[in-house]
Amino acid sequence: MAGNRSNPLEPPLPAHTVRLTRLPEGIELYFPPLRTPGAALALALFGAACFIPGFFAAVAVAPLAETGASGVMAIWLMGPFIVPFIAFGVLFSALSVYLVANSLTVVITSLEIRSLRRVFGFALSERRILGADVAALDVVAVLRYRWLRNDTPFYNLVVRSRNGAGLTMSQAYRTRRLAQFRNRRVTVAESLRGEAMMEQVKREIVNAGCFERLLQGGRDE
């Protein structure tokens, strides 16, 4: 998935969001880290708002363990109120780090679609769909990137596989079709701000993969 990344489009795509490279057989889309800093900051702040009071509450009640059975009982009663704050704080902080550190590289040709997700530069997951197996190209409005003072929506583009349609996780385990289950939906573009950018990238994907039959794909909220 290497190449001389460029942005040969009019209007040009914002390089901090997506970089497009034309290949002899198709295109490569590269979505770099730090493409949604606002969403990452919001998650980090929410995580801190949960973790800090939970941590200080845990520090405050910890000495009660040395006061005997009554202190242990008090900790046992207060624990269900304290632990969720700490757990959610850690979870949302980890999600904010993931948003900042992950990148996505997608190669689209008429033969196949191949995506590679990296975190801190290390490969996390790779997915493939043969071009003949592509059943739909869905537009997904991503609500988590919306702000109260900014009504501009963000979109993801997701390819659905024909072979993976209707396959459940239990069926995949039972029939040893885990790879097919994992590849039933593949994200080929994400964090696209506004309908104009989404339509521009969608056209490039359709042209590169010869997916003109998918132009009537649905849109999910």
* pLDDT greater than 50 at residue 96: yes
Tell me the pLDDT band of 37, cut-offs 50, 70 and 90: confident
Which of these, 70, 6, 29, lies nearest to 204 by C-alpha position?
A: 29
Taking the C-alpha atoms of residue 49 and residue 87, their distance in angstroms, rounded to an integer, is: 12
How confident is the model over 118-141, as pLDDT tens digits?
A: 999 999 989 888 888 888 898 988
Tell me the pLDDT band of 20, cut-offs 50, 70 and 90: very high
CB-based contact 211:137 (threshold 8 Å): yes
**pTM of the entire structure?**
0.79
Backbone angles phi, psi at 167, to 5 degrees: -80, 125
- Mean pLDDT, rounded, for 99-117: 94
The domain segmentation of the chain, as residue ranges, is 40-98, 110-220
CB-based contact 129:159 (threshold 8 Å): yes
What confidence score (pLDDT) does residue 113 get? 93
* pLDDT greater than 60 at residue 145: no
99 contacts: CB under 8 Å, gap ≥ 6: 36, 39, 40, 43
- The percentage of residues in the chain with a pLDDT greater than 90, rounded to a whole number, is 42
Tell me the pLDDT band of 46, cut-offs 50, 70 and 90: very high
* pLDDT greater than 50 at residue 42: yes
Taking the C-alpha atoms of residue 127 and residue 85, their distance in angstroms, rounded to an integer, is: 35
Chain centroid to CA 47: how far?
18
Minimum mean pLDDT range among 7-21, 55-69, 81-95, 184-198: 7-21
CB-based contact 44:96 (threshold 8 Å): yes
Taking the C-alpha atoms of residue 173 and residue 166, their distance in angstroms, rounded to an integer, is: 14
Q: Residue 161 is encoded by which pair of tokens?
A: 């596989």
What confidence score (pLDDT) does residue 167 get? 52
- Mean pLDDT, rounded, for 190-204: 91
DSSP per-residue codes, the chain: ---------SSPPPTTT-EEEEETTEEEEEE-TTS-HHHHHHHHHHHHHHHHHHHHHHHHHGGGGGG-HHHHHHHHHHHHHHHHHHHHHHHHHHHHHHHHHEEEEEEEESSEEEEEEEETTEEEEEEEEEGGGEEEEEEEEEGGG-BTTB---EEEEEEEESTTTT--HHHHHHHT-HHHHHTSEEEEEEEEEHHHHHHHHHHHHHHHHT-GGGTT--EE-
